Every structure is written in C-alpha cells, then in structure tokens.
Structure 1
Amino acid sequence: MPPNILFAARPERWDTYRAPLRTALDAAGLRQAHLAQDIAPEKVDYIVYAPNSDLQDFTPYTRAKAVLNLWAGVEAITGNKTLRIPLARMVDPGMTASMTEYVVGHVMRHHLGMDRDIMGQDGRWTPDAPPLATQRRVSILGLGTLGLAAARALTGLGFPVTGWSRGPKSVDGIATLHGSDGLREALRNADIAVLLLPDTPATENTLSAETLALMPKGAFIVNPGRGTLIDDDALLAALDAGHIAHATLDVFRTEPLPRDHPFWAHPGVTVTPHVAAETRPRTASEIIVENIRRGEAGAPFLHLVDRTQGY
C-alpha cells in the first residue's frame, strides 16, 4: 500500500514544498504515495514537520513511522512528550552550502578588515596589509555537518582551523579538541571564533564573561548557530572593553531581534536576520523522501535525533 505523507507546516510552506516533494517522490519510485495537508491521523505513515505548525499532539498518529523535520534545529520538538516515534532532523546539502558561504564570507571579511575599507578611511591613506590566512587562527565550535563543512572550506583557504566538540571527534586535516579543557584551549587560540553548536542546556552561554575573556584581545566572533550560545550582556561588555573587536550575529534569543536591543546600534556588532542557512525546498525534499524510501524498505532512517543529547 502506498504511504500516506502528512505535510504539517505553516500553510504558506505547502506551496513551496508541494512540487519539490512530489518530484522527489516520483524519482524515488514512490509515485503512488499520497501527499497532503489533511490526512486522518490514524492513516498517516510519515509526518513532514515544522515545529511552528499547529500539530503539537502526536498521540492520534498511531501508525506513523517517523517525523521528518524540515528544520535543522530540533530544540522546539525534542521535549514534546507525545512524540514517541523516530524524529529525523534536517541535514540539507543546500543548507550546508549556504552556511559554508556565510561563514567563509564573514571570516574573510574580518580577516581582511573589509569594514574599514568599505566604510571609508576619512581621507587617510593607511596601507596596512592584513596577515595571510596562515597567520589567522580560526576555531569552530561545533563539528556537526555544518561545522565540518565550514572547517574544511577555511582549511582549504589556508587558515589554521581548530574544531571543538563536546565529545571526542577525529577529522582528517583539522585539529580537534573536546570537553571543557578543550573549549578553553580552542578559545585561547581563536583570532576568529565561529559558533555552530546546537541549542541545548549544555551549550547555553558557551560564550560567557569567563570564556570570552580567554580569547585574544581583538578577536572576532561569528555566530550563525543559535542565539543562546552567547551571553548577550557579557558580549556587549567585552565589546565595550575593546577585548572583542567585532561580532557578526545571525541568530538571537528573540527573533526578530527587538528594535530596542543594543545589538542594533552597537558599532562592534553586525546583525544579519537569520539568513546564514535556510532549508532549500528541492534538496530538502530529496532528503525527506530518502528517509521515506528507507522507512518503506525497512532500512534505518538517516539523521535520527538522540533525545538524550537534544540533537
């Protein structure tokens, strides 16, 4: 029997995903699959899901095999006690490419001192050439799919990259650290720190007053990961003291960022409106359908969330 696939996201997303999902289903040999927004709960086999949808009680979905998240972040759903079936997070090649471009672009911007040139030098001729990439140390906090892709791209440009993760990892060509001692070492050696950690209780305020103080004076921060990774007040204090030169922030504790938040007006902060990485409908649909194909074949699902870890 062909699977029934419920699309449970905001109504406007249906118009974006309906055609790419149908194309991916057809290509995977699932041409007869029923894809809709309004399938009776007891008949649903798979739920394509966005955490901000109206579906919050999974109890009626008694035959569903998996929830396939449209977002990379799963912190808004992992605590849902009615969800007792496998949950797969989104690992989208299009999103990975987008994040890599964002990280590389802003690391290069800070490395080359582009802001000074773009904003003008008040008529002063200051031919101060930046160091080479080999002389600018980058630490990437978080070695998941996105962090690894960014680390490899920066390594390819000549930057000495250190990757940090909560648990041990081994990555060819990239120095890796883990645990609390490793975090301190990674920050001490971070002329530029890139944050790509998930949002969990263990990662909240990874950059605090204490850990910011470990970074070299004049260091830069790029955070396209999660807003909770940085203590806002501690960052502002470090910027005001001149210890941190600049922070480029794409994610925030409250989004949209409130108009009266001091980040907007601070000369040492660049605010971008959560644009570093977005799920791309075509490539995301291919990932979702591959998991549906696996479910129908009795194969293991890809990118399953570990509820104990929160991601």
Structure 2
Amino acid sequence: MVIFFRALIVVLITSLVFIPKAYAATLTADWVVNQDSSTQYTIEATVTAVNGNVRNITSFLDLAAAFGVGNYSFSVSQTSTTSQFLNINSNYDGDGVTPGDDQLVTNTILQNTTVVLTVVVTVTDPSQVNPSALNGFVFSTNPNTVIPITALLVSIDTYPDIGIANQTSYSFDGSCSENGSLVNIVVSDGVTNINTSATCSLDSWSISGLDVSGLNDGSITITATHSNFVNTAQAQVTVNKATTADISVLKADLNGSTTYTPGATSTYEIVVSNAGPLDVDNIVVNDTLPSGFSAASWSCNPTGSANCDTASGSGSISNITVDIPAGDSVIFIVSVTWSADPNDY
C-alpha cells in the first residue's frame, strides 16, 4: 500500500547585504508511506530547495495519530550528498504530543538539491494503525534566519605555544560565521596529525583539554576549516612546542675578587637566565652564604617579562621563586658585610 502526498512552501529570503527587493525561495516536499509488512511502515519525505539556498528548516511529524500512542517504535535516517538534517535522533520522540519533541531541524538545503528523510516505524498491534490519519511532514522556516548562504569566515584567535604545562591539556579558540555547523581542526607537526572539531556557536568556536603530547617538539601548525557545502574558509597558524628549556646560573663578585676579607664588604651578582625555547615558571633559587658574615641583603631584578615573587630580603637567598620567559633573566644583587671577629669563621 502506497500513499502519496505533496506540499509546497514558499519562504521569503533576504540577503545579508542590502538589495532593493527580496526574492523568494521555494521548498517542495513530497512524502510517501509504504507498508512493508503488517507491523512495519516506511515514511519518506523528499525535500528540495528551489530559487535559493535555504537554512534552518524545521519538520514536524505526528506518528501517534497514525500508529497509536505507545504502539510503535521508529528510527530516522537521511540521504543526501550536499545537505543534512542535524541531530535527527535528538529530542525526536514522535509522540505527537509535544511539538518541540517531534521536530527535526535541517542546517542547509542548497538550491536544486534534495534531502530524503526516512522514518521506519515498527508497530506492536497492527489493528491500531490508521495510515490515513498520518498528517505527514509539516515543514516550516524562520524568516529571520532563512537567508542565502554567503561567504564564510573562520579565524584562529588564541593559540599559545605548547609547553610542559599545557601539552596534555592544550586550549585554543577562534571565530566563525556559520553557527550550528562544525569547524574541523587539524593540529600537526608535519608527521603526526591530531584531528578534532568544534561547533560554531555565537560566531565562535573553542577547543580545550586537547592532548598534543604525542607531537614532536618544534613548529606545530593549527588549521581550522569551516564549510557550509557551498563555500569553504580556512585559517592556519604556527605555534612552538617544546618540553625543555636551557636554564643557566652565573655568579660573580662585582669587584672581581676571589677572596673576602674580615671586616670588609663584598657585592655579588647572581644571574639566572633562560635561553629557551620554553618559558619556565616557578624556578626556585637558593644561595646560602658561608659562615663569617655579620649582615647581608639582596634584591631580585627581573629583565624583560621575567618576574620575582619576592623583590628583596636579608641573609641568604632561600626558596625564592622566579618566572623567566625564553630570552629573559633575573639578576640577584647580594651585599655582604664580613665579621671582624675571627671566632665567627
């Protein structure tokens, strides 16, 4: 038994840019019910866009009216090479009671292309089935969001270098223009690719907690690709990945002396440098003075973007934490007065 239906929907579409006159796009929806057996029915809807590309189309199907509440189960599938219904099994219970639960939303149907939506229904009690009561697929659109597809935009906005602390939980983000669709991401060292994706929402996308520890140290490319079946936008950036840093310490007497004299003073300089390639935080510096000093003070002086958690102190340098980006350093100046009492040595 085959039942044929046809519906015609006219949707007003306005461009994102100003045009003197809006133009109309037409949706044609043919749907058919096939009885495969006494307990199985197949419902197919063929939806085609004419005179324009159409987005954000909602379909509603009241299965309960034809098959009886609680008397059936169903599955939903789709066939299309260019367009797709999104989340076709999500919140779609087909009970005909709550319209919001019985809706399928399509992302894009291109001009002169077709989506075939198939629902297979299996019933428990065939005597409750009344196919003529099936009201079919009802398609509607939102005039505020049904617009011609325009050029896509995608960018990668935040992309820190990959260091020791974030290589197993790397995060980056960007902007996009096709809300509801995917931004496909490839993070690569040129040999190994890590593939992931993010949904474009409110004109932005983000990746967080990505494990990139399997990539080799060196230059890493991040590529973001955004597509709406008509256009493709792509952005690419390069970051540096490294798991080591070259930290050096140089200590010298500013007067060039290699000895100290009781009752005299000395001034020392301790330079902690980071030759890279990584920025390094939480470096702990200690310098214990020998016996015989009667007074001592020190200061910590960062260069560039380096940072000292304590700017100055007295006595020995003990557990002072510094942050040193690649190429920067911190300089400790230590002033010491030596005791004149021989018993202090």
What is the TM-score when the length of structure 2 is the normalising length?
A: 0.20
What is the TM-score when the length of structure 1 is the normalising length?
A: 0.21
Quick one: higher RCO (CA 8 Å, sep 6+), 1 or 2?
Answer: 1
Q: Please state which structure has a larger fraction of its residues in strand.
A: 2
